[in-house]
Amino acid sequence: MKTRVTELLGIKYPIIQGGMQWLSRAEFAAAVSNAGGLGIITAATHPGKKELVEEIRKTRALTDKPFGVNISMLPEVGPGDKTMEYVEAVIEERVPVVETSGRSPEEFVPLLKKAGIKLLHKVPAVRYAKKAERIGADAVIIVGFECGGHPGMDDVTTMILTPKTVDSVSIPVIAGGGIADARGFVAALAMGAEGVVMGTRFVATTESLAHPKFKEWIVKAQETDTVIIQRSIRNAARVMKNAAAAKVLEMEARGASLEELLTVISGRVGRRALFEGDLEGGTFAIGQCVGLINEIKPVREVIEEIVHGAQEILSRLQKILAQS
């Protein structure tokens, strides 16, 4: 497979595992890279530069293929922002690829470029994709309303955002949000994307660090089992529909402050529940494509099924077109 994304990143298949806080650690990201995709570890999982450097070195020891580091930034620069520390870590360690999200990485672009790092900026709206191109991102990842994590505030789906972004920028477009199998992959390519990003599908893999109870929940879950929270703080997040999410919605309806919301939505609460298998105790990012996932399997199988499935879909489509 050859697209501008495989060429840019030096990978076999244009399939990228989006950064996932707490989950995308070295072993997991290396498994994705070793299977021909691009694995991404997440900076925010680590308290600071030193720990991130260790994780980068660990990843490098587990794969000789390209991999990335996700640097998720808060929408506003605030106290305790570790972005600069993380940027220093990726530059010093000469990480091949960085995925940014949350706010514009503009101030870091010259530093990343100088270090020869490829920048993928992830955005939930066409206007931000245009800005990503303007500030010098090498490719843009566009994620639609279906996605696990932060779909932005506009509620526009991947089906619309992908072709619109392709028409609006000339850098390569990577599509995400709702893609879990070969059908979604081919659809994204058909809409002009040159790669896909997947999060939810990779949570239900053998190598994922999520507690087995979460993986089992994903296999059973339906496409209606996620919900959007955090609209009141303009940081919408698609999460698993559970008791913690219901509590957040109730708090938001009565105008709770950020401090109060943080008692439920803070990363620490979610992390404990995630690793202890407490399905109701925290809020967990997950996308609507949970409804398409029926099996926990190794990362390599997920990727190979997409690649082989794509060929089958194409021959089916060719037959349909030949009849017209």
Ligand X SMILES: Cc1cc2nc3c(=O)[nH]c(=O)nc-3n(C[C@H](O)[C@H](O)[C@H](O)COP(=O)(O)O)c2cc1C
Which residues of the shown chain bind ligand X in the complex (CB under 6 A)? 18-21, 23, 42, 44, 70, 72, 101, 122, 143, 146-149, 176-179, 197-201, 203, 285-287, 289
> Rounded to the nearest whole angstrom, what is the least distance from the CB of residue 105 to ligand X in the complex?
12
Q: Which is nearer to ligand X, 32 or 109 (CB)?
A: 32
> Rounded to the nearest whole angstrom, what is the least distance from the CB of residue 322 to ligand X in the complex?
33
> Rounded to the nearest whole angstrom, what is the least distance from the CB of residue 64 to ligand X in the complex?
24
225: CB partners within 8 A, 6+ apart: 240, 241, 290, 291
Q: What tokens does 9 get?
A: 């990143």
As a whole number of angstroms, the distance between CA 202 and CA 279 comes to 18
Q: What tokens does 28 get?
A: 């997991």
> Rounded to the nearest whole angstrom, what is the least distance from the CB of residue 254 to ligand X in the complex?
27
Using CB positions, name the residue nearest to ligand X. 199
Q: Which is nearer to ligand X, 33 or 200 (CB)?
A: 200
Q: Which is nearer to ligand X, 197 or 256 (CB)?
A: 197
With CA atoms as reference, report the closest residue to 29 among 2, 74, 69: 69
Q: Which is nearer to ligand X, 8 or 179 (CB)?
A: 179
As a whole number of angstroms, the distance between CA 92 and CA 53 comes to 9
Q: Which is nearer to ligand X, 222 or 257 (CB)?
A: 222
> Rounded to the nearest whole angstrom, what is the least distance from the CB of residue 318 to ligand X in the complex?
28
